[in-house]
């Protein structure tokens, strides 16, 4: 193998740059040529492809976002789009590809491998919702962004004796809500993976209120319901001053934490290593701090599970 490519796709996450840097530098370390594909699968179809050098990835390890940009591309979901992508890769003499992205991007990577083009997936998403890895690149940074925000909201919540509902990202996955709720002592954590009752939410609130608690925090993952609606319902049932904050896209940005930079560096480099070993159609991950690889189709067929012991603990500690 002489020449490989790298792209970022789907939702961006902090640490994608560190992963790109690792892929590029590890490839060059092993005397491979490395090409960057800009704007994800859209750029692949359009041939938006340039050679990268050691210096191309200088000064990006600490930056959020992705220097290769990202995109969503409906055309790549079609066989025709995928064939066009492979034609471009062949035109540039690229023999294998590293795709940094979430589960949607992994489906694209799986398709390329099925068509005979060796591709490896690196999990980059703030949601931590990919099976086959304990953590995804960007999760830790997003979590810290949420915690910083909740800490600030907690100050004003205490001053005004208010209840705050904080809506965080996670359409299908509750990890951001669960971890940030546990880290910030939330009264209730509402996640898409677990049923909840408003009676329970209200009971917990009232119990705290009765023992003189000045503030209450409820963290809700967007997939578990609308923060605005939940706040309205709480106000209606309790008459407590209730406010809502939807954190939105600030969770996607910012300088990656040390954990995310280290994870991205390890996973990016490992992706190149397993390509050199002749592997394809694999995703790289980390389990119990050991680098692992799994078949992408296997990983995609299994749903990421929340840690039930953590969910139980969050309830036990917020009595």
- Asked if residue 235 binds ligand ADP (CB under 6 A), the reply is no
| Residue with smaller CB distance to ligand ADP, 25 or 304 | 304
Q: Which of these segments, 97-105, 228-236, 253-261, 291-299, binds ligand ADP (CB under 6 A)? A: 97-105
The residue within the footprint of ligand ADP, chosen from 33, 103, 167, 222 (CB under 6 A), is: 103
Contact 241, 160 (CB under 8 A): yes
The residue within the footprint of ligand ADP, chosen from 21, 84, 111, 304 (CB under 6 A), is: 111
Task: List the x/- string, 54-93, binding to ligand ADP by CB under 6 A.
Answer: ------------------xx--xx----------------
| Residue with smaller CB distance to ligand ADP, 10 or 181 | 10
CB of 9 to ligand ADP, least distance (A): 5
Q: Which of these segments, 54-62, 106-114, 178-186, 188-196, binds ligand ADP (CB under 6 A)? A: 106-114
- Catalytic residue, chosen from 12, 48, 127, 129, is 127
Contact 69, 7 (CB under 8 A): no
| Residue with smaller CB distance to ligand ADP, 111 or 204 | 111
* Neighbour order of strands in the sheet with 290-295: 49-52, 33-37, 3-8, 96-101, 119-123, 282-287, 290-295
CB of 307 to ligand ADP, least distance (A): 21
| Residue with smaller CB distance to ligand ADP, 130 or 149 | 130
Count residues near ligand ADP (CB under 6 A): 17
Q: What angle do CA 3, 120, 303 make, to 5 degrees?
A: 170
Does the active-site annotation cover 127? yes
CB of 284 to ligand ADP, least distance (A): 15
The residue within the footprint of ligand ADP, chosen from 10, 36, 268, 281 (CB under 6 A), is: 10
- Near ligand ADP in 13-52, by CB under 6 A: 41
| Residue with smaller CB distance to ligand ADP, 36 or 40 | 40
Contact 153, 218 (CB under 8 A): no
- Near ligand ADP in 124-153, by CB under 6 A: 125
Q: Which of these segments, 7-15, 149-157, 242-250, 282-290, binds ligand ADP (CB under 6 A)? A: 7-15
The residue within the footprint of ligand ADP, chosen from 108, 123, 132, 256 (CB under 6 A), is: 108
**What positions carry a catalytic annotation?**
127
Binding site for ligand ADP (CB under 6 A): 9-11, 41, 72-73, 76-77, 101-105, 107-108, 111, 125
């Amino acid at each position: 193998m002489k020449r490989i490519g790298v792209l970022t796709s789907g939702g961006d996450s902090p640490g994608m740059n560190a992963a790109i840097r690792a892929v590029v530098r590890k490839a060059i370390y092993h005397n491979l040529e490395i090409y960057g594909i800009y704007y994800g699968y859209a750029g692949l179809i359009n041939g938006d492809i340039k050679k990268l050098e050691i210096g191309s990835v200088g000064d990006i390890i600490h930056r959020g976002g992705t220097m290769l940009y990202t995109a969503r591309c409906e055309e790549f979901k079609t066989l025709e789009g995928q064939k066009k992508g492979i034609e471009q890769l062949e035109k540039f003499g690229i023999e294998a590809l590293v795709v940094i992205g979430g589960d949607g991007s992994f489906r694209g990577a799986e398709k390329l491998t099925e068509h005979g083009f060796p591709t490896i997936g690196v999990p980059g998403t703030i949601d931590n919702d990919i099976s086959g890895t304990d953590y995804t690149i960007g999760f830790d940074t997003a979590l810290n962004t949420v915690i910083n925000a909740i800490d600030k909201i907690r100050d004003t919540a205490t001053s005004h004796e208010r209840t705050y509902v904080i809506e965080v990202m996670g359409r299908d996955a509750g990890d951001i809500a669960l971890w940030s709720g546990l880290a910030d002592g939330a009264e209730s954590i509402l996640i898409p993976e677990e049923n909840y009752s408003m009676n329970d939410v209200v009971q917990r609130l009232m119990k705290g209120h009765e023992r003189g608690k000045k503030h209450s925090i409820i963290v809700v993952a967007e997939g578990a319901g609308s923060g605005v609606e939940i706040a309205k319902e709480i106000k209606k049932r309790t008459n407590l001053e209730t406010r809502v904050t939807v954190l939105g896209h600030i969770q996607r940005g910012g300088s990656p934490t040390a954990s995310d930079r280290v994870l991205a560096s390890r996973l990016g480099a490992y992706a190149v290593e397993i390509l050199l070993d002749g592997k394809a159609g694999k995703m790289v991950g980390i389990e119990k701090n050991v680098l692992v690889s799994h078949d992408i189709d296997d990983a995609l067929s299994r749903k990421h599970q929340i840690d039930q012991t953590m969910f139980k603990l969050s309830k036990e500690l917020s009595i």
